[in-house]
Amino acid sequence: MSYLSQETESNEKLRIKLKQQEITAEKLNKQLNTFKEKMEMESSKSQPLSTMNSKEWKGVVMGKLNEEKIKSLEEELEKKV
């Protein structure tokens, strides 16, 4: 195999790898943009605590605390099983 054919083969392999990386980067960028859009939608849905009355924000806080407690209980249960 001549030096030129080795270089050509090496070049072709690198072009293929580059194209694969570009495709992967494009997919990841799409996922990132989708995630950002979802986060923006979720943040626009929820009211800031400063605009809520005491019952509303207590409900939000208690809901979050309950979620965390359930997660910790599920983790403990998984460890025991």
Tens digits of residue pLDDT in 66-79 = 888 888 888 888 77
Calculate mean pLDDT across residues 31-50: 77
- Domains: count for the chain: 2
DSSP assignments along the chain, one per residue: --HHHHHHHHHHHHHHHHHHHHHHHHHHHHHHHHHHHHHHHHHHHSPPGGGS-HHHHHHHHHHHHHHHHHHHHHHHHHHH-
Task: Please choose, from the candidates 72, 22, 6, the residue with its C-alpha nearest in 3D space to the C-alpha of residue 80.
Answer: 72
pLDDT, the chain, mean: 83
User: How many CB atoms are located within 10 Å of the residue 50 CB?
Assistant: 6
> Which of 3-12, 37-46, 68-77 bottoms out in mean pLDDT, i.e. has the lowest?
37-46
Residue 8's pLDDT band (cuts 50, 70, 90): very high
Q: Mean per-residue pLDDT for 45-71?
A: 74
Q: Is residue 13 domain-shared with residue 41, that is, in the same domain?
A: yes
Do 5 and 40 sit in the same domain of this protein?
A: yes
User: What is the model's pTM?
Assistant: 0.49
Determine how many CB atoms are found less than 10 A away from the CB of residue 62.
10
Residue numbers of the domain that contains 29? 1-45
